Amino acid sequence: MLDRETIGWSVFRDGSDPILIGDLNGIVVDLNAEVERAYGWPRDELIGKPIKTLVPSDRHHQADDLLRRCRAGEEVRHIEGLRVTRDGTVVPVLLTLSLLKDDTGTAVGIATTAADLSALKRAEERSAQMSKVLADGSEPMIIEDLDGIVQEMNAEAERVYGFSRDELLRRCRGGEEVRNIEGIRINKEGVELPVLLTLSLLRDDHDEPVAIASNAADIAALKQAGAELRSYQDHLEDLVAECTEQLAETNKYMAAVLESMTQGLIAFDENLKLVAWNSHLRDIRGYPEDLCEPGQSFETFMQYDIDQGEFGEGDAGRLFTERVVQARRFEHHAFERTRPDGRILEIKGGPIQGGGFVSTFDDVTERRQAERALATAHGLVTESIDYSSRIQRSLLPPDDSLSDKSADHFVVWQPRDVVGGDLYWLRKCRGGMLLVLADCTGHGVPGAFVTIIATGALDRALTEFPEGEPATLLARMNRHVQTALSQDDGKGESDDGLELGICRLDDAGASLTYAGARFDLWHGLPGEAIETLRGDKSGIGYIHIDPDQRFTAHELPVRPGERFYMSSDGMIDQIGGERRRALGKRRIREFLAETSRETMTEQRRHLLDAFADYQGNENRRDDVSMLGFQPLDA
């Protein structure tokens, strides 16, 4: 039976701390008035509820553990815990749990006393904060009570003053807070130290003064810094004087640089006032000497130019406004202007950091006259080369000249420049027809000259041997080219020549005879691989070639539908593709085989498209020529 005699009624009733009486299952059976005051629960509402009603939910495990320990007969004393009031306020408490026993010594309940630790916790927190302030302070700090009794001091105060905390005593009266007052402190050795004093009241929770914090900042270093600053100011004045002297020297050199310039120069500041110029400016622009004065306005210069007609005819006010507005933009500028006397000025300039602009004036009259003369000469040369191109093309057979002599054909002739070193011929011979493709030394104008020599050599050889046997023609052309270029004695000032292939088709169209000087003949039927008939390894006309060089003739039967191709090395050696490699013979032959069922006109178009794609952005390296034909069926 749990009754008030068992509890100890007087102690329970008059206790200054909240006391809860619970049974062994943790249910509230009684409580004193302090519980109602402290936690806000009426007695009647709390009786019958679990004691854990007054415990925060995250601390229920602690309440269960304490109940278990009491049931086991253990007296639990001075355990920190938490209580929660009816309005949710959490209160730190110091718990003591005691077993209640009846007359037989049997445990019948548990008395829980919860002493409020709030004030103690706040005091500990203030103490910890003050300790941190003292520990972290880099200046001497002393805490005194209202009677001037030193309560605490930091290590810096001990170091500066030489007193230990137990030795220092000061007195301070009144409630005034004193800040930033210069004073003197004396250390243990009697040395006076300049300090900056700040005295602050420390108050309790009821805003009552309880102590004085005295902060004495050591300003010895500050005093020293002041002396050093005055010394530095004196040094700075000397430095300014020295820099002024150096600046004057620099200005002298700058003036020399300005005068050494071949262009005229003028500069204005952010307010469009004159700040720099050289004598060449006055020479080139014709400005009077009294106009070029420091601080002269840009507007004055513009008005002078307008009066001199520098900007041509037009409304003077509009011309003036336009140029002033443009100048205030402080932009980069570059343009030319023709003066009234016909001289041409090149004007360049740009903004100056911080505002303003600089301009240079260069008389480029002679340069522009020379450029015009050069352009005229270039035009004459270009016209001559264009006319040479027409002459060279007149030496070539028309593209449709093979139409009556073949079932199908195409011609590619693309000089790298206006004129080129590749050429093709179509010539009648006794009992047949000759088809020739040649690649002469070089390209452009030099190559074109060699084609003219080669054309004459071919015509002369064909006159000498009208049957047109290809190997014989190559041998005779070799001698004629060497003679024409004075390369027949193994010496000569040049070493030029050509590579070419000659095809002879008999009138019946049944056979083809081929001879090549470092030139191949490709041939094949539609849908089949392209085969190669290699020419001899010797070109013609070069110094190192024997004047009596012989060449090999190859005779082939012409199969119905068979196509023949000859190509200069311009297409073969062209760099391109992702790996920047030469196109090569193999790729060209494979493409010709893939397109062999198309008409030769279509084949040519697709071939040139593929070649252009392969070349991409690479420069054309050489003249590009190819001759393709399909003989008439016998």
pLDDT at 630: 94
pLDDT at 167: 56
pTM: 0.50
Which two three-digit tokens encode residue 471? 């190997």
pLDDT tens-place string over residues 88-134: 899 999 989 888 888 888 888 888 898 888 888 887 887 777 777 77
Pairing of strands 192-203, 178-186: antiparallel
Residue 144, Cα to own-chain centre: how many angstroms?
A: 63
* Residue located via tokens 């089949």: 528
User: What is the overall mean pLDDT for the chain?
Assistant: 85
Residue that wins the pLDDT comparison between 332 and 176: 332
Range in 78-92, 169-183, 359-373 the model is least confident about: 169-183
pLDDT at 1: 47
| Banded pLDDT at 202 (limits 50, 70, 90) | low
Rounded to an integer, what distance in angstroms lies between the CA atom of residue 296 and that of residue 273?
A: 5
pLDDT at 192: 77
| Banded pLDDT at 171 (limits 50, 70, 90) | very low
Rounded to an integer, what distance in angstroms lies between the CA atom of residue 141 and that of residue 154?
A: 6
Rounded to an integer, what distance in angstroms lies between the CA atom of residue 263 and that of residue 78?
A: 98
* Residue located via tokens 């004396």: 186
Task: With beta carbons less than 8 A apart as the criterion, state whether 582 and 575 touch.
Answer: yes
Residue that wins the pLDDT comparison between 283 and 13: 283
pLDDT tens-place string over residues 218-270: 777 777 777 776 777 777 777 767 766 776 675 676 677 778 788 899 999 99
Residue 109, Cα to own-chain centre: how many angstroms?
A: 80
Rounded to an integer, what distance in angstroms lies between the CA atom of residue 116 and that of residue 94?
A: 7
Range in 400-414, 468-482, 552-566 the model is least confident about: 400-414
Q: What angle do CA 569, 573, 579 make, to 5 degrees?
A: 165
Range in 35-39, 220-224, 377-381, 461-465 the model is least confident about: 220-224
Percent of the chain's residues with pLDDT above 70: 87
pLDDT at 511: 92
- In the predicted structure, residue 421 carries a pLDDT above the cut 70: yes
| Banded pLDDT at 357 (limits 50, 70, 90) | very high
Which two three-digit tokens encode residue 369? 């006259």
Amino acid making up residue 212:
I
Q: Which residues of 353-379 are buried (b: 16+ CB within 10 A; e: fewer)?
A: eeebbbbbbbbebeeeeeeeeeeeeee
| Banded pLDDT at 169 (limits 50, 70, 90) | very low
pLDDT tens-place string over residues 144-166: 666 655 667 777 777 766 656 55
| Banded pLDDT at 213 (limits 50, 70, 90) | low
Nearest to 91 by CA among 142, 41, 50, 146: 41
pLDDT at 235: 78
Rounded to an integer, what distance in angstroms lies between the CA atom of residue 629 and that of residue 226?
A: 103
Which two three-digit tokens encode residue 508? 């019946």
pLDDT tens-place string over residues 508-551: 878 999 999 999 999 999 999 999 999 999 999 999 999 999 99
291: DSSP letter: G
Cα atoms found within 13 Å of the Cα of residue 433, Cβ hemisphere only = 16
Range in 223-232, 296-305, 541-550, 606-615 the model is least confident about: 223-232
pLDDT at 483: 92
pLDDT at 539: 94
pLDDT tens-place string over residues 9-22: 555 766 788 998 98
- In the predicted structure, residue 173 carries a pLDDT above the cut 50: no
Q: How many CB atoms lie within 10 A of CB 407?
A: 17
pLDDT tens-place string over residues 454-480: 999 999 999 999 999 999 999 999 999
Q: In which element (H, E) is residue 317 found?
A: helix 316-327
Q: Provide the 3-class DSSP secondary structure of residue 436.
A: strand
Range in 202-206, 508-512, 620-624 the model is least confident about: 202-206
pLDDT at 295: 93
Rounded to an integer, what distance in angstroms lies between the CA atom of residue 319 and that of residue 577?
A: 57
Q: Which residues contact 98 (CB under 8 A, 6 or more apart)?
A: 75, 110, 111, 113
pLDDT at 125: 80
- In the predicted structure, residue 594 carries a pLDDT above the cut 90: yes
pLDDT at 564: 97
Residue that wins the pLDDT comparison between 518 and 52: 518
Which two three-digit tokens encode residue 507? 């009138």
Main-chain dihedrals φ then ψ at residue 546, nearest 5 degrees: -60, 130
pLDDT at 158: 73
Range in 384-398, 483-497, 581-595 the model is least confident about: 384-398
* Residue located via tokens 């206790």: 15
- Give all strands of the β-sheet with 141-145 in edge-to-edge order: 150-153, 141-145, 209-218, 192-203, 178-186
Residue that wins the pLDDT comparison between 107 and 395: 107
- In the predicted structure, residue 601 carries a pLDDT above the cut 70: yes
Rounded to an integer, what distance in angstroms lies between the CA atom of residue 614 and that of residue 584?
A: 11
